Amino acid sequence: MENYEPFLSLGLALASGFIIGQEREHSAPDPREEAESFIGGSRTYPLVSLSGAVAVLVSRELGPWVLLAAFAAVVALLVVSYSGDVRKGWSHGLTSEVALLLCFLLGALSLTEGVLEPQRVKLLVVAGLTVVATMLLSLKPWLHAFVGRLSRRDVSAVMQLLFVAVVVVPLLPDQSYGPMDVLNPRQLGWLTLLIAGIGFAGYVAIQVLGSRRGLVVTGLLGGLVSSTAVTLSFSGRARGAGREMRLGCMLAVTLASSLMFARVLVEVAVVHAPLLRSLAAPMLAMAASTLGASALFYRSASATRGEGSELEFANPFELKSALKFTLLFALVLLGAKAATAYLGRGGAYLAGVLAGLTDVDAITLSMAKLAQGELAEEVAATTIFLGAASNTLTKGVMATVVGGWVFGRWVLLTFGVAVMVGALVLVVMSRLG
């Protein structure tokens, strides 16, 4: 196999240049319009890749100056081409030039020895870089549209999220403080980032797909950000609306809440996966119940499912909101621990019901953390269920108050049935366990 190694590496270099060159040729401007430059396509890029590969081959005998000279020659050609285009006043970026230099380097990397070993690792790295580069090049319209949807506030929120994740949280002390030793700053930071990350993923998905892609997409993606926001928004739209639109709003509300149950399971899986043994069945039962109702609403609302509906979401991660959630989470964690210590199981259950009135994530993460050794898994699972049930019924009441009785009664009935189904499954699971 070693005898054929140069041929395999040269083929890899040729393939990488050809793939990128094909994309560049398909993205080339219309030749009838001479207002934009085109520096090459499916022939130029493979030739540049091969030039890098051959330069490395020759460098093995004559020294690294050959590779440096070849790279300098490619750069000089690009500078001359770019200067000519600027003098002509043509529209010009640097994407194609950078892609051409990348092809040269990929070709050189394909023939380089001792950097990426064994051969299959080099193949995977070069192929992976080629695919990623081609994808970035081909996604230009999509990326520009996505960036256009982002506000300056969104970009600032992303930077804050990255700053907290990369700089702040790793520097937090990893030890317990406060009453009963339940407050660990680093764990608080990571759990806050978990919630922010889930919400941010849903927010990005909504920005990419748009909120006018239908009530199904809006409900599902909105549930990642805030099922309460979806409930309030669509309940307001349903008041005074026609029957079909009311059904469509019911669909969005129930879908968002069904995703909330899945979100709870994801949070538990990240913090304390063994707790899923007790919690997965009732949560999935409630999710199945709301999804079943959603299917009925979907069939009834078929006349409006193409209308879409605008639903504005704020970026779910800002430093102020993150600090608020961290404070809420710390208070719920401390309160749940104190209630359990002084009132036993009843105190934990009461904490779950009260916390669920405003937020299900805080009680979920608190109980999952306490279940790591300070609280029985059965008690933690029941408390999380009560928090989710309390939150679900609260949204049903919101829908009735904001959307009116005609709309809210069906949402409240759906959520009430879901809670009863989940409670029945929880009781059966506890008896079997």
- pLDDT classification of 420: cutoffs 50, 70, 90: very high
Tell which wins on pLDDT, 201 or 303: 201
Tell which wins on pLDDT, 338 or 16: 16
When mean pLDDT is compared across 60-69, 92-101, 375-384, the lowest value belongs to 92-101
Is the model's pTM score more than 0.85?
A: no
Q: What is the mean pLDDT of residues 29-45?
A: 66
Q: Is residue 305 over pLDDT 80?
A: no
pLDDT value at position 281? Answer: 92
Tell which wins on pLDDT, 393 or 312: 393
DSSP labels for 391-409?
HHHHHHHHHHHHH-HHHHH
From CA 75, how far away is CA 400, in angstroms rounded? 67
pLDDT value at position 303? Answer: 46
| pLDDT per position as a tens digit, 51-85 | 999 998 898 888 888 889 999 998 888 888 777 76
Q: Is residue 2 over pLDDT 70?
A: no
Q: Is residue 313 over pLDDT 60?
A: no
Q: Residue 318 gets which letter from DSSP?
A: -
| pLDDT per position as a tens digit, 235-246 | 776 777 677 778
Q: Is residue 151 over pLDDT 80?
A: no
pLDDT value at position 214? Answer: 52
CA distances from 206 to 143, 197, 198, 228, 400 (A): 14, 14, 13, 16, 26
Run of H or E residues at 180: none
| pLDDT per position as a tens digit, 199-221 | 566 566 656 665 555 566 667 76
pLDDT value at position 421? Answer: 94
Tell which wins on pLDDT, 325 or 281: 281
From CA 9, how far away is CA 13, in angstroms rounded? 6
From CA 22, how far away is CA 58, in angstroms rounded? 28
Q: Could you tell me where the DSSP H helices lie in 164-241?
A: 169-171, 185-209, 215-225, 227-238
Instruction: Report the helix count and the strand count for the chain, using DSSP H and E.
Output: 18, 0
Average pLDDT, the chain: 79
Q: Residue 273 gets which letter from DSSP?
A: G
- pLDDT classification of 47: cutoffs 50, 70, 90: very high
Q: What is the mean pLDDT of residues 371-398?
A: 87
| pLDDT per position as a tens digit, 185-201 | 887 777 677 666 655 66
pLDDT value at position 286? Answer: 94
Q: Is residue 309 over pLDDT 50?
A: no
Q: Which of 101-110, 150-159, 311-320 has the highest mean pLDDT?
A: 101-110
Look at residue 282 and give its three-state secondary structure.
helix
CA distances from 172 to 104, 189, 227, 376 (A): 44, 8, 31, 28
From CA 7, how far away is CA 57, in angstroms rounded? 11
pLDDT value at position 306? Answer: 44
Q: What is the mean pLDDT of residues 259-263?
A: 89
Q: What is the mean pLDDT of residues 15-36?
A: 74
